[in-house]
Amino acid sequence: MTQFYQLGGAEKLDVDLAVNLNKRGLHVDILSMYSADSLAVMEAKKGLLLKGIPSVDFLGLNLGPSIMSVCKSIYKLRKSIQLEKYDIVVTSMVPPAIIASWAVKGTQARQVAGLHQVFNKTRDKSRHYKLWMLSAKFNRQIRYYAITEYVAKSWNSFSNTPPQHVRKIYNSISDDYFDVALDQSCIRKEVGIPEGTKLAIYVGRLAAYKGIDTIFDALFPVLKKQNLVLLYVGRPDFFVKGTKEMLQNIQDRIINEDLGHKVKFLPHRDDIPQLMASSDVLVHPSRMEGFGLTLVEAMAAGLPIVASNVEAIPEVLSGTNSLMVQPDDPKSLREMVLVTLNLPAHDLKLCIEKGRSRSKNFQSNTRADQLLKLFEDVVCSDF
């Protein structure tokens, strides 16, 4: 079960896994929680069928669904499980995990729930999470995978799930990042970066908790003084509280200080590997992070990193020369970005080599192998 259009990180991973496993001879269908209510959705469905997905279906929910519509979706999924004789229902986000946990009860299917976020008892108090706890508690046919050891431990503490029921399986990135075909001058020219300019890039959702304001606050004092451009790449996530106001504040300051040529915003693009390989440093000062796919993508593309030392980021960057600072510390972030931009050639080469070596732990076939082993163990286990 996944939302396969307007993909976020977890949803994209679900789709990539489904395509990979079907190529290996397994039968893996995709089911979306939502409705086939637009041409874009139907085009996305057509694309998945062309990639070898046997079936793409919809539960028909709207955003903010009523209890009655959720119950209907549980019934529909349950009937689908029984009709198609599915062995495993895989979810990666909390809402579909809740639906699946009730739908599999009393059927032959088992549920594998992906844990793609850090769970925190102080932070996560909504009814949304309480319902997830209740659903998980009464479902003995469920096992979990966590995208980092940090996430696994946070879930064990949050839910009192036995550690043996949670397996660590790292996220993966596209093979495109490991072998980037690059014409740096062409990419930079296309996005309006003058020749010889240093380029600091942020890639990901433009959301308040990602620290996008910290990047601006950090580099604001040096943007006019240095031959430096800041590039944000990603879509705004206005569902996250504070994002709209934060982005408006940044835009106002850009206009007031005449920094339009120094700070640029691009929507999501299909050439992210090339953009990363054409940049000089990835800046990722997130305030919370269960993994950070963009970190691995940058390492594979040969891009040095400055990130916040928070939650799972140190685990993902383990063994590299990436620099980390505390979140919400613009001064330290600025200092580390400037250090990275001025690395001697030997130190830069070593930083890139260590990053590329670390990134090989996050390849798509490795993740598919590990998840397939988990699915086999779950099917064969005595619950």
pLDDT tens figures, 223-274: 989 999 999 999 999 989 999 999 999 999 999 999 999 999 998 788 999 9
- What is the band of 197 on the pLDDT scale with cuts at 50, 70, 90? very high
pLDDT of residue 92: 93
Residues 260-307: tens digit of each pLDDT? 999 999 987 889 999 999 999 999 999 999 999 999 999 999 999 999
Q: Is 138:132 a contact under the CB 8 Å cutoff?
A: no
For 74, the token pair is: 């549980």
For 197, the token pair is: 């300019």
Q: What's the whole-number mean pLDDT along residues 17-32?
A: 95
Q: Is 273:177 a contact under the CB 8 Å cutoff?
A: yes
The pair phi, psi for residue 110, each rounded to 5°, is -115, 155
pLDDT of residue 198: 96
Residue 134 CB-density burial (10 A; 0-12 exposed, 13-18 middle, 19+ buried): middle
- What is the band of 1 on the pLDDT scale with cuts at 50, 70, 90? low
pLDDT of residue 383: 66
| Every domain range in the chain assigned CATH 3.40.50.2000 | 9-172+364-380, 175-361
pLDDT of residue 5: 57
pLDDT of residue 65: 83
Residues 6+ apart with CB under 8 A from 59: 31, 32, 33, 34, 73, 76, 77, 99
One-letter amino acid for residue 253 of the chain: R
- pLDDT, the chain, mean: 93
Please say if the pLDDT value at position 6 is more than 60.
Answer: no
Q: What's the whole-number mean pLDDT along residues 55-71?
A: 89
For 181, the token pair is: 């075909």
Please say if the pLDDT value at position 203 is more than 70.
Answer: yes
As a whole number of angstroms, the distance between CA 164 and CA 175 comes to: 31
- What is the band of 38 on the pLDDT scale with cuts at 50, 70, 90? confident
- What is the band of 311 on the pLDDT scale with cuts at 50, 70, 90? very high
Say which CATH architecture domain 175-361 belongs to: 3-Layer(aba) Sandwich (3.40)
Please say if the pLDDT value at position 107 is more than 60.
Answer: yes
Q: What's the whole-number mean pLDDT along residues 53-65?
A: 90
As a whole number of angstroms, the distance between CA 136 and CA 174 comes to: 31
- What is the band of 180 on the pLDDT scale with cuts at 50, 70, 90? confident
DSSP 209: G
Longest dimension (CA), the chain: 66
CATH of domain 9-172+364-380: 3.40.50.2000
DSSP 62: P
- What is the band of 157 on the pLDDT scale with cuts at 50, 70, 90? very high
Residues 338-359: tens digit of each pLDDT? 999 999 999 999 999 999 999 9
Q: Supply the pTM of this predicted model.
A: 0.93
Q: Which segment of 39-43, 47-51, 73-77 scores lowest on mean pLDDT?
A: 39-43
H or E element in which residue 30 lies: strand 30-32
Q: What's the whole-number mean pLDDT along residues 53-78?
A: 91
pLDDT of residue 11: 85
One-letter amino acid for residue 293 of the chain: L
Name which residue leads in pLDDT, 363 or 138: 363
pLDDT of residue 276: 96
Please name the residue that has the structure tokens 């200092």: 335
- Among residues 266, 257, 249, the alpha carbon closest in space to that of 223 is found at 257
Name the CA dihedral angle for 40, 43, 45, 49, rounded to a multiple of 10 degrees: -170
As a whole number of angstroms, the distance between CA 190 and CA 339 comes to: 27
Please say if the pLDDT value at position 4 is more than 70.
Answer: no
The pair phi, psi for residue 88, each rounded to 5°, is -135, 135
Please say if the pLDDT value at position 88 is more than 80.
Answer: yes
Q: Is 91:114 a contact under the CB 8 Å cutoff?
A: yes
pLDDT of residue 35: 86
Please say if the pLDDT value at position 7 is more than 60.
Answer: no
Q: Which segment of 65-69, 109-113, 229-233 scores lowest on mean pLDDT?
A: 65-69
3-state secondary structure of 218: helix
Please say if the pLDDT value at position 125 is more than 90.
Answer: no
DSSP 287: S
* Torsion over CA: 202, 208, 211, 212 (sign): positive
As a whole number of angstroms, the distance between CA 204 and CA 197 comes to: 22
